[in-house]
Every structure is written in C-alpha cells, then in structure tokens.
C-alpha cells in the first residue's frame, strides 16, 4: 500500500516572514480579494500551503512595482509570473537606475504619508515591501534613514503629533528587527557590538547600524539604549567582538558622554575598534580623535568601513588580545 504524502502547511507567522505581508494585510487581501484560500486547523487557525506562499510572493512582487492588489488579484500565477518577469527585464535596461530611484522615492513618500495619517497597516506593508524589493543598502539609506530623519525634524518643529511619531518608530523598529532575521551569517564572521552609551535613550540609529552590519555579513550583538561603559566593555568581551559601534543622537551632558567614551576605550583591548555615529557624534570629535575612534557620518560610510575591516586580516578573539 502506498502512502500519500501530506502537503506541508505553514502558519500565518511563517507566511508573513516569507512574503513581507503583515498578518492584518494578509487577512484583508484574503477577505476582500480571495487571493488564496488557506486550510483551517481543528482549532480554526489558518494554514497555508507552499503553493499559497508562492502565489502571495508573486502578488507582493507585482504590487511592489506600482500596481494595486485589486488590479492583479484575479490573475493566474502564470500571468503574475509574466508580469514579474517583465518588471525584472525593465529593471535590467539602461533605465534601471532611474527606475530604482523612483521606487525609493515612492516607498519613502508612501511611508511618510502613512505615518502622517496614522495608518499602521500601510506603513508596515510599505516598509516590508521596500526591504524585499530594494537592495538592502538602498532600502536603509534611501527609505528607512530619511524617513526617521524627516519624522524627527517634523516632530521637533511641532508638525508631527507625538502619537504618530510613537506609532511610526514602533513600526520601523519592528521591521528593522524582521530584516535582521534574514541574513545567514557566514561561519567565520566578525562580531560587532552595537548600542548607545549611558544617557542616550534613542536607539533607532543604532538599530539602523545593526541592520547594515547584519546585511553586510557581520554577526551582530545589539544591546539597545543607554549602557554604561563598563557594561559595554564586558559585553564586548563576552561576545568575542573585535568592533563596537555606538550611536550618539543628542546629549544633555556632553562631558559625561565624553568620559564614558574614554572609560570604554581604557577597558577594551586596542585590537577592538570603536565606531561612533549619529547626529551628536560631532560634538565629541576631539575625544574621538584622542581615543582613536572612527567617526562615521552616514550608513553608507559605515557599510564601506565594515567592508574594509572585514578584509583586514582574519577575525580575532579580543579575549586573547
């Protein structure tokens, strides 16, 4: 007697990770457009087949090119593949650069509008689509970074309500965390510790740096906000990291931050490199020069520095000096 192989079924969480669709948006697509018809478990939970996921991935691709879901929901998979192939071919023409720039501008514009309109579903789906459809450097440098800067600037000017700012930063944080789950770290990756020093409570800049490092092949130990120098040094030793990166956004007590940077340098082996970024880093330029730290003023500069350090010798264990 032959046994019938049962198809592999996947939870909503798995589908969300593989497609970039939020559970809410996935549910809306199913309810309004019947894009897929998932099976139901005995407990009523939705379960998706590999074929369901393939179709959803195709729909994500063709909608990311600028089409509405209503335009393509009724198409068969063969037609969706044809559309996706046409989009890919168009991206390979001499106009690919202009098209990609236009896509970056589109994602940024839609994301900012969603944040202004308090539309959490649209904001998250837009950011996930940008992360999936754009190279990681363009998504981070052209969408996530500028979006944070624009929201911060408008908030300081009183043109962005606090509730909207909290909603936007929460969603940005969630999508950045999701992005760092994807890269497969090479076996002999270097390790970097990323955080903010004591009294620095804003860590989204550090999260952006962590995503850059993760998508550049580094093993990342992200510690979050406001850690004192002794704990940063301890964590760096425990992680066997040969680099530590800190984000400094604003300091109400610059002397304290400077002292923390000096203490951190004194507690780490010279083999451990220090990288400092963020809007507040320039205020500590003299101290950074004294302690031999690298001040980088953009995500692109960080990416280039990490690439250069990756190829300088073999990764070393700071615990051995």
Q: Are 291 and 256 spatial neighbours (Cβ–Cβ below 8 Å)?
A: no
Spatial CB neighbours of 61, under 8 Å, sequence gap ≥ 6? 80, 84, 87, 133
Residue 145 contacts residue 278 (beta carbons within 8 Å): no
In a domain, 126, yes or no: yes
Q: Which helix (H) or strand (E) holds 282?
A: none
DSSP string, 203-221: -HHHHHHHHHHHHTT-EEE
Residue 4 lies in a domain: no
Instruction: Check whether residue 102 and residue 142 sit in a common domain.
Output: yes
The dihedral over CA atoms of 165, 25, 23, 208, expressed in degrees to the nearest 10, equals -40
One domain, residues 312 and 197: yes
Task: Tell me the average pLDDT of the chain.
Answer: 86
Are 205 and 238 part of one and the same domain? yes
Residue 44 resides in a domain: yes
Query: Among residues of the chain, what percentage have pLDDT more than 70?
Result: 88
Q: Is the pLDDT of residue 319 over 80?
A: no
Write out pLDDT tens, residues 48-88: 999 999 999 999 888 877 677 878 888 999 989 888 888 77
Q: Are residues 100 and 86 in the same domain?
A: no
Are 85 and 101 contained in the same domain?
no
pTM for the complete prediction? 0.66
Longest dimension (CA), the chain: 79
Looking at the fold, whether 315 and 198 belong to one and the same domain comes out as: yes
Is beta strand 46-49 parallel, antiparallel or unpaired with respect to 9-10? Answer: antiparallel
Query: How many domains does the structure of the chain reveal?
Result: 3
Average pLDDT of 146-158?
89
CATH of the domain at 293: 3.40.50.280
Q: Give the whole-angstrom CA distance, residue 25 versus residue 137.
A: 26
Token readout for 197 is 């020093």
Same domain as 243, residue 211: yes
Identify the pLDDT of residue 94: 41
8 A C-beta contact, residue 79 and residue 55: no
Of 180, 214, 234, which residue constitutes the final position of a domain?
180
In a domain, 185, yes or no: no
| CATH at 157 | 1.10.1240.10
**Alpha carbons 168 and 123: distance in angstroms, whole number:** 8
Domain check: are 101 and 169 in the same one? yes
Mark whether 104 and 87 lie in a shared domain: no
Res. 97 pLDDT band, cuts 50 70 90: low
Find the CATH number of the domain harbouring 82. 1.10.1660.10
35 in a structural domain: yes
Rg of the chain (C-alpha set): 22
For residue 244, what are the domain limits? 191-320
* 2 has pLDDT over 60: no
- pLDDT band of 92, cuts 50, 70, 90: low
Q: What DSSP character marks residue 271?
A: T
Cα–Cα distance for residue pair 134/104, rounded to 1 Å: 8
Phi (first) and psi of residue 182, to 5 degrees: -85, -45
- 225 with 309, same domain: the answer is yes
Q: Is the model's pLDDT at 1 over the cut of 60?
A: no
pLDDT tens digits along 236-290: 999 999 999 999 988 778 999 999 999 999 999 999 999 999 989 999 999 999 9
């Amino acid at each position: 007697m032959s046994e019938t192989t049962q198809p592999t079924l996947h939870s909503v969480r798995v589908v969300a990770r593989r497609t970039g669709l939020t559970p809410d948006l996935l549910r809306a697509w199913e309810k309004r457009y019947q894009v897929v018809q998932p099976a139901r478990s005995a407990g009523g939970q939705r379960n998706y087949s590999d074929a369901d996921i393939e179709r959803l991935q195709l729909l994500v691709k063709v909608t990311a090119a600028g089409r509405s879901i209503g335009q393509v929901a009724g198409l068969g998979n063969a037609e969706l593949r044809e559309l996706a192939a046409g989009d890919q071919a168009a991206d390979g023409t001499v106009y690919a650069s202009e098209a990609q720039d236009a896509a970056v501008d589109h994602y940024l514009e839609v994301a900012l509008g969603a944040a202004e309109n308090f539309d959490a579903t649209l904001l998250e789906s837009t950011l996930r689509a940008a992360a999936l459809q754009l190279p990681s450097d363009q998504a981070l440098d052209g969408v996530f970074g500028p979006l944070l800067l624009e929201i911060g600037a408008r908030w300081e000017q009183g043109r962005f309500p606090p509730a909207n700012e909290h909603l936007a930063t929460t969603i940005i944080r969630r999508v950045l965390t999701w992005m760092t789950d994807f890269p497969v770290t090479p076996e002999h990756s270097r390790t970097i510790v990323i955080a903010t020093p004591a009294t620095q409570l804003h860590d989204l800049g550090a999260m952006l740096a962590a995503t850059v490092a993760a998508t550049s092949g580094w093993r990342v130990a992200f510690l979050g906000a406001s850690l004192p120098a002794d704990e940063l040094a301890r964590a760096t030793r425990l992680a066997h990291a040969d680099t530590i990166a800190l984000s400094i956004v604003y300091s109400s007590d610059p002397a304290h931050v400077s002292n923390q940077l000096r203490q951190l340098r004194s507690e780490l082996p010279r083999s451990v490199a220090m990288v400092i970024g963020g809007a507040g880093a320039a205020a500590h330029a003299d101290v950074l020069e004294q302690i031999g730290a690298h001040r980088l003023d953009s995500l692109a500069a960080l990416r280039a520095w990490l690439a250069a350090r990756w190829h300088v010798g073999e990764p070393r264990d700071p615990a051995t000096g």
